[in-house]
Chains A and B, each alone.
Chain A
Amino acid sequence: MEDKKKILVADDDGGILDVLQIMLEDAGYAVDITADGASVKAMKKPYPDLLLLDLWMSGIDGRDICAYLKDQKETKHIPIVIFSANKDTAAIAKECGADSFITKPFDMEELLSLIKKHIM
């Protein structure tokens, strides 16, 4: 159990957080969820193995969080997958240094294979 990879999911919608937690735990990951963007930006050790980040979070822009984490020495190694309801934001996600982008609503298979790309 100790070697489970840890994924942090950040979204401001409780429904999404719940279902992603179940989905990812079913797939064998350890999952932390948060609706608080600021706490993601200020994350401390131990760091997650991957961050699943909503681009449109109330209060704080997912772009800022992503760009900030990718700019810090301690956190820039963490793979970030951005998800958004708007596919026009794919380019924006790339600009802020995200490793992958996925559009809501996504297929489970699609999401899991994307995560597998970044953490084995």
Chain B
Amino acid sequence: MLSGNIGLKLLNYRQGVGVNDMTKRKITIYLIEDDEDDYLLLKRTLNKISKTSYALTWEKNVEKVIANIRTCQYDLVIVDFRLGKWTGIDILKEAKGQGCKKPFIMLTGSGNEDVGIAALRAGAQDYLTKEEITPTVLERAIRYAIERREIVLREQELVAEQTARKIAEAQRNRLEEVLLDLERHQERLELAQKTGNIGAFEWNLKTNLLVWTPELQALYGLSEFEPITEYLQWKRLVHPSDRDRVEKELQKAVSENSQLSTEFQVIWPDGSVHWIYGKGRVFYDKKNKPLRMVGVNMDITGRKRLESQKDEFIGVATHELKTPITTLKGYTQVLMNRLKKKNDLPTVAYLSKMDSQLSRLSTLVEDLLDVTKIQSGKLHFHMEDVFFQELVREVIDSMQLTTEKHTIKLEKDVSKKIRADRNRIGQVVTNILSNAIKYSPEASEIIVKIDAIDSKIVLSIQDFGIGISEKAQDKIFDRFFRVSGPREVTFPGLGLGLYISAEIVKRHGGDIWVKSKKSEGSTFFFSLPIKRNKEKNGR
């Protein structure tokens, strides 16, 4: 297409259309020729051309030509093919290589058409056989060479221009797309921030400067005209009771490259207190130096209010549910005592069953409340020094009273102190023992052992009951899991006991696990860290 175009234009020029103004001024020609006779011949021929005047500069030193060709200011270069150890094609290639855009005409000897063709291929505009040179031929060759060169250059410029325009257009389109995309993202983000009570921040860890979105300003009760731009400014807005803790958590996230996830209270300018949930990620440079933290804040005041209502509810529910049970139990026991004195033993036996059912009801209420506490992170411990062995003995003694069939044997023990919530660990031992009793109705023995392994005490409770299938063993510490099917009435319960026990043990820094074989029995284990005597010196 391109060459066709040029061809058409060339044709137009040949027909004399669009001839430019080169006839009016002198055309400068640079002749590279090592033969003075040839130079003189060319000069004479040029002088015979009447309609155009030429300024001919002769150069026979090829090295000098090569050194200056890049800055060549002539309208045309005529070069002889034979130049001692050089050829005209060498000069041509050198000139093109250096970026010279001037038109070239190659002079050759007669009968050397091949050289001419090679010259054209190397970029010459034309070639002339010295013997054929006449003023007419020369004039036309010069004119065509210059015009052709100009046309090619103009075409190249045009193509380059078009390409550049196309690239620019494509870039502009892409940019518009990206901007549109960005706008949509921005809109979505703003919508999300506004509807979700979320604000975003960027914290430069080198300068301690902050960038906040307007939504974040609003979460702190500030208008967009009161921007928070420094870390210390933010810190002052955090409630004094949370300030140090949150700062430590921030430092931890930065130093350990961990995700920040925290809750804290902030004080608004009007004095009201609001809860904020903060999440952030730290970005590092190539040398692993922290650069910035990017994250979001969310208002969780409503959720916190609900949580505290829930806590209050748990407390009230515990009280309200257990009070009637306490009263019922009390009357049952008063009746039992009075009937014992009257020696009405069958009725005493009924009342005893009633009493144990009331104990069961009480345990169920307790378990449900414990699970609620675990779920809401409100299971609190009162840690004290506990002689583990003593605690286990106490639990065994009281559990022994609940079964006539089984003998609970403490086969091995060690005397070690642990740091624990006495009631809660007692609850774990009670739970495992009552399971052992419940799930080994045909057995007569339950074996308890206490070991000290490394820095932990390990308690094992072995029964010879129905056992647990391997598949079920993985799930046994999950919430609501039960060994038997829901329709089976032999082993009732909500299946919360082991879940609660596992939570209590884990929160004490221990582990809980089971070894069991179907129809042979189960051994439950749990471990707890032994209290180290040197703890005080270490502080």
Interface residues of A (CB under 8 A from B): 13, 15-16, 18-20, 22-23, 26, 56, 85-88, 90-91, 104-109
The CA of A16 and the CA of B334, in the complex, are separated in Å by: 13
Residues of B within 8 A of A88 (CB): 380, 382, 423
Residues of A within 8 A of B338 (CB): 26
Residues of B within 8 A of A22 (CB): 330-331, 334
In the complex, the answer to whether B322 meets A13 with C-beta atoms within 8 Å is no
Least CB distance, B137 to chain A, in whole angstroms: 116
The CA of A23 and the CA of B323, in the complex, are separated in Å by: 16
Cβ-closest chain B residue relative to A107: B333
- Of the candidates A13, A23, A86, the one whose C-beta lies within 8 Å of that of B318 is A86
Residues of B within 8 A of A23 (CB): 330, 333-334
Q: B372 on the interface (CB 8 Å rule)?
A: no
Cβ-closest chain B residue relative to A91: B382
Least CB distance, B420 to chain A, in whole angstroms: 12
The CA of A88 and the CA of B329, in the complex, are separated in Å by: 21
Q: B377 on the interface (CB 8 Å rule)?
A: no
In the complex, the answer to whether A108 meets B322 with C-beta atoms within 8 Å is no
List, sorted by A's number, 26 A–B pairs whose CB atoms are closer than 8 Å: A13-B327, A15-B323, A16-B330, A19-B326, A19-B327, A19-B331, A20-B330, A22-B334, A26-B334, A26-B337, A56-B315, A56-B319, A85-B322, A86-B319, A88-B423, A91-B382, A91-B384, A104-B323, A104-B326, A105-B325, A105-B326, A105-B329, A107-B329, A107-B333, A108-B337, A109-B333
Residues of A within 8 A of B259 (CB): none
In the complex, the answer to whether A85 meets B319 with C-beta atoms within 8 Å is yes
In the complex, the 5 A-B pairs of residues with the closest C-beta atoms, listed nearest first = A19-B330, A91-B382, A105-B326, A15-B327, A108-B333
Q: B358 on the interface (CB 8 Å rule)?
A: yes
The CA of A13 and the CA of B331, in the complex, are separated in Å by: 15
Residues of B within 8 A of A19 (CB): 326-327, 330-331, 334
Residues of A within 8 A of B359 (CB): 105
- Of the candidates B323, B333, B358, the one whose C-beta lies within 8 Å of that of A85 is B323
Cβ-closest chain B residue relative to A84: B319
The CA of A90 and the CA of B324, in the complex, are separated in Å by: 21
Residues of B within 8 A of A107 (CB): 329, 333
In the complex, the answer to whether A15 meets B324 with C-beta atoms within 8 Å is yes
Chain B, interface SS category: helix
Least CB distance, B313 to chain A, in whole angstroms: 13
* Mask: chain B, 429-473; 1 = CB below 8 Å from A; 0 = not: 000000000000000000000000000000000000000000000
Residues of B within 8 A of A16 (CB): 323, 326-327, 330
In the complex, the answer to whether B318 meets A85 with C-beta atoms within 8 Å is yes
Q: B213 on the interface (CB 8 Å rule)?
A: no
Query: Which interface residue of B319, B326, B331, B362 has the most chain A CB atoms within 10 A?
Result: B326
Query: Which interface residue of A20, A22, A88, A107 has the most chain B CB atoms within 10 A?
Result: A88
Least CB distance, B432 to chain A, in whole angstroms: 18
Interface residues of B in 352-382 (CB under 8 A from A): 358-359, 362, 380, 382
The CA of A108 and the CA of B318, in the complex, are separated in Å by: 20
Interface residues of B in 236-289 (CB under 8 A from A): none
Cβ-closest chain A residue relative to B331: A19
The CA of A78 and the CA of B285, in the complex, are separated in Å by: 69
Query: Which interface residue of B319, B322, B324, B423 has the most chain A CB atoms within 10 A?
Result: B319
Residues of B within 8 A of A109 (CB): 333
With contacts A91-B382, A91-B384 known, what are 4 further pairs, Cβ within 8 A? A22-B330, A26-B338, A90-B382, A105-B325
Residues of B within 8 A of A18 (CB): 327
Cβ-closest chain A residue relative to B338: A26
In the complex, the answer to whether B315 meets A86 with C-beta atoms within 8 Å is yes
The CA of A17 and the CA of B203, in the complex, are separated in Å by: 61
Least CB distance, A90 to chain B, in whole angstroms: 6
The CA of A12 and the CA of B254, in the complex, are separated in Å by: 53
Cβ-closest chain B residue relative to A108: B333
The CA of A53 and the CA of B333, in the complex, are separated in Å by: 21
The CA of A13 and the CA of B326, in the complex, are separated in Å by: 11
Residues of B within 8 A of A86 (CB): 315, 318-319
Least CB distance, A7 to chain B, in whole angstroms: 15
Residues of A within 8 A of B323 (CB): 13, 15-16, 85, 104
Cβ-closest chain B residue relative to A110: B398
Least CB distance, B436 to chain A, in whole angstroms: 22
Residues of A within 8 A of B324 (CB): 15
